[in-house]
Chain A
């Protein structure tokens, strides 16, 4: 029942876009905060540890250059010994690709929350749009299925080719990897939709092809594989990321289902 008479007429109901946005905002904000909690418990310390290896590796690779430089200079400019050292310090400070970056601690956490929530609201908008186009009644339980599908599309399928990586891992150029990531997620989404709703066997066959082709093509790989963090740390990170993203997607799906059902009843 509408809260006010003004909400009763079809023309004066809140627009469909606003209802989708409200569902996505509710689900995305809650799930994004939940993700931040899980991430903080499980993932952040692994990222910080990997960064200490990254900084140490950069310092080690800078050291031999400094040594050679000193040899060249010894004949002429003994007094300039401090110069290579100061360049080295400069390099270590720039380890995060230059430009502004949040200060460690509260500021970094604040921006991580902001990024998690906008990511979660972004995914929730896609989910709520899909629920609306599908047009079938949804509960938080059927929302779990949608969340599971989102986990397969946006985490599992891309991770098969490009596993979550710690800082300091050698990888192919980022634009090529992003292209493969997006193409794989898109193909997997189409495949799951065809498997769920396609009636003709030909469509199911096309779905299987869409599932497999990105992995036959293969993700872009670096010329040389390598990482500064130990392999055990990288494995721990993949497992922790898989668990955190599963929790995130199931929560996002259930919340989107619940908010969507509520706004459908109210509308």
Chain B
């Protein structure tokens, strides 16, 4: 038994879409939360903290 062999077999087999879907969509959802907080959230304090970033990135501001 060799961990190297099992590893290379594993790496050569692409993951099925159903195994990837939940982690990928979870990551995308987390990304949207971060983008919302930095770029879109209406709270005054968040807006003022991210003010220069929002203008630079072309997010609608004010």
- A residues near B (Cβ < 8 Å) are 1-2, 5, 8-10, 13, 15-17, 20-21, 24, 35, 39, 43-44, 47, 96-102, 108, 111-112, 114-116, 118-119, 121-126, 128-130, 132-133, 135, 155, 158-159, 162-167, 171, 174-175, 177-178, 181, 241, 244-245, 264-265, 267
Contacts and interface: CB of A to CB of B under 8 A. Distances in A.
Interface residues of B, number: 47
B21 A133 contact: yes
Nearest to B33: A122
Interface string B5-35: 0110011001101011101111110111111
Contacts of B32: 122, 126
The interface residues of chain B, by DSSP majority, are classed as helix
Contacts of A119: 34-35, 38-39, 50, 53, 57
A17 B26 contact: yes
A124 B42 CA distance: 23
Interface of B: 3-4, 6-7, 10-11, 14-15, 17, 19-21, 23-28, 30-35, 37-40, 42, 44-45, 47-62
Contacts of B21: 133
A56 B20 CA distance: 55
A101 B11 CA distance: 49
Contacts of B47: 97
Contact of A20 (B10, B23, B48, B49): B23
Nearest to A128: B27
A166 B62 CA distance: 10
